[in-house]
Each structure stands twice: as C-alpha cells, then as structure tokens.
Amino acid sequence: MKVKYFAWVRERVGKAEETIEPPATVRTVEELIAWLSGRSEAYAYAFEKPKVIRAAIDHAHVKPDAAIAGAREIAFFPPMTGG
Amino acid sequence: MTTPVTSCPVTIRIQEDDFDIAREIAVLTKSRTDIGAVVSFSGICRADDDSAKIAALTLEHYPGMAEEEIRRHADEAISRWPLNGVTVIHRVGRFMPGQNIVLVLTASQHREAAFQAAEFLMDYLKTSAPFWKKEESATGTGWVEAQARDDEAAARWTKS
C-alpha cells in the first residue's frame, strides 16, 4: 500500500510518500503507526506522540482503530490548520 | 471542480493564484434571479499573532483529499440549509501578511442560511480539510499548532 506523510510528519520521516508492505499481523491504523515507529529513529520521532497523529484511508479521515485491509493509500499528518 | 448549473452549483478550487472576490460573486450569481443573499468570507494572512510578528505563511495540502473533504462539507451544508450556490477557494504556497488565503461564498434566497452555511464551512475548513500552515517569524520557522477553539467552533454544528 502507498503511504503519504504531510507537514511535520513528512519532515520528520524525511519523505513525502513510499510503498510499504506491513506484515499481516498489522491490522489497524494504530498498529501500523507502531510498526512504522519501529523502522528507524526518524519514524520513531515522527510518531512519538501517536495520539496527536491524524490518519486518512483513501482520502477519508479514520480513527486509530480503523482496519487497513484493502486500503490503497494511507496518510499520516498532524491536526489540520488550514482556513 | 465545477458542477453544471443546477439549483446549487458548487465550485471548489485549490490554487496558488490569488482570487478576485467580486469576480467570484459575479460567477456565482450570473443569470440567477432566485438568489437574495451572498455571504463572502475571506481569510487573510495576518502579521500579528499572539506571540511574534509573522513574516510569511506557507500552506501545504493533501491533493485529492483536500478537494474531496471540502466537497463532503459543501454537500452537508447543502443538505442542512436552502443554498443556491457554494464557492470555496483555498490557496496554497507561500504568503505574506495582507495576502488572501481562503474564500468561502454561500448564496441563498435569504441571509440567514447564507451566513450560517459560510460559518459552518469555515469551521470545518479549519479543523477537517487537510491543510497545514508553517509560520516564519523573527524567532524562526515552525508549524502552526491546531487551536482547541477551532475544534470547539466546529463541534457546535454537530447534530445532537
């Protein structure tokens, strides 16, 4: 699946997007955050406060317990500050 | 994206270029005699924040989702109020104080629906549309933090 990062999550991870293949045991958004956090110090820093991170699956906001099965694109970003 | 002329055309654009408020209102009301009220909200880059003077703001967005999220809220506004037209234009890029950032236009037969729908759309643009602001000031550069007061403003529209 494709993963996208925005704002300071993008800056901390060090890339805007990538394709990942998490193991089948990673079923939800919060499990994916935990799995990503274990990849490197950069990911651990980006996701150090997982409760602050917002997520979207296929362009729609989702909660941490949302299932990631079938997702084409998952995005992680800080709370929004537009307008 | 612009839908064909129906009873409530919706125009949503995300662009780097500036917008012309008078022109957008003219487009929204052209050849219509059923519109009695247009409310216009413009969000402008300001220099004075609570702490430091802002030198510039950079707006980043999530292409694709930003348009879809605004569209979902425009559709909800149309289902809640008798609207005859909605325009939302959000700029992205780097802005100096005094420059336009966002425009919301709502048209209706009467002012009450237009006022309420414009406020509803702005409250959700702030808290739910995927845009992020980065501030430059004399003390450095940093991402703007979300404000609890914006979440509270959006929460008042939640149906009980």
Domains and CATH numbers, chain B: 2-152 (3.90.1170.40)
Contact state of A82 with B130 under an 8 Å Cβ cutoff:
yes
Handedness of CA B135, B137, B141, B142 (dihedral sign): negative
SS (H, E, C) chain B: CECCCCCCCEEEEEECCCCCHHHHHHHHHCCCCCCCEEEEEEEECCCECCCCEEEEEEEEECCCHHHHHHHHHHHHHHHHCCEEEEEEEEECEEECCCCEEEEEEEEECCHHHHHHHHHHHHHHHHHCCCEEEEEEECCEEEECCCCHHHHHHHHCCCCC
Q: Which residues in chain A are contacts of B102 at CB distance < 8 A?
A: 82-83
Q: Please state the pTM of the whole predicted model.
A: 0.93
Q: Which residues in chain B are contacts of A4 at CB distance < 8 A?
A: 62
Q: What is the DSSP letter of A52?
A: T
- Which residue, B8, B30, B14, B160, is CA-closest to B76? B8
Does the predicted interface ipTM exceed a cut of 0.90? yes
CA B122 to chain centre: 5
- Which residue, B32, B15, B19, B34, is CA-closest to B105? B19
According to the model, what pLDDT value does residue B49 have?
Answer: 67
Taking only Cα atoms into account, the Rg of chain A, rounded to an integer number of angstroms, comes to 12
Q: Note whether A38 contacts B: Cβ–Cβ < 8 A.
A: no
Distance from CA of B4 to the nearest CA of A (A): 24
Q: pLDDT tens digit string along A6-63?
A: 999 999 999 999 999 999 999 999 999 999 999 999 999 999 999 999 999 999 999 9
- Predicted confidence band of residue B147 (pLDDT cuts 50, 70, 90): confident
Chosen for mutation from B12, B42, B62 (greatest number of chain A CBs closer than 10 Å) is: B62
Q: A24-33, A48-57, B72-81, B138-147: which has the minimum mean pLDDT?
A: B138-147
Contact state of A79 with B146 under an 8 Å Cβ cutoff:
yes
Q: Left if phi > 0, otherwise alpha if psi is -120 to 50, otherwise beta: which for A59?
A: left
- Predicted confidence band of residue B92 (pLDDT cuts 50, 70, 90): very high
According to the model, what pLDDT value does residue B159 have?
Answer: 66
Contact assessment for residue B86 and residue B77, using Cβ atoms and an 8 Å cutoff: yes
Q: Which residues in chain A are contacts of B128 at CB distance < 8 A?
A: 61, 80
Distance from CA of B33 to the nearest CA of A (A): 30
Q: Which residues in chain A are contacts of B60 at CB distance < 8 A?
A: 6-7
CA B128 to chain centre: 11
Q: Note whether B69 contacts A: Cβ–Cβ < 8 A.
A: yes
Q: What is the DSSP letter of A4?
A: E
Contact state of A81 with B131 under an 8 Å Cβ cutoff:
yes
Contact state of A6 with B69 under an 8 Å Cβ cutoff:
no
From the list B43, B102, B129, which residue is nearest A80 (CB)?
A: B129
Average pLDDT over residues A60-70: 97
Residue B3, pLDDT above cutoff 50: no
Tokens standing for residue A82: 């537009």
**From CA A56, how far away is CA A49, in angstroms rounded?**
17
Contact state of A81 with B90 under an 8 Å Cβ cutoff:
no
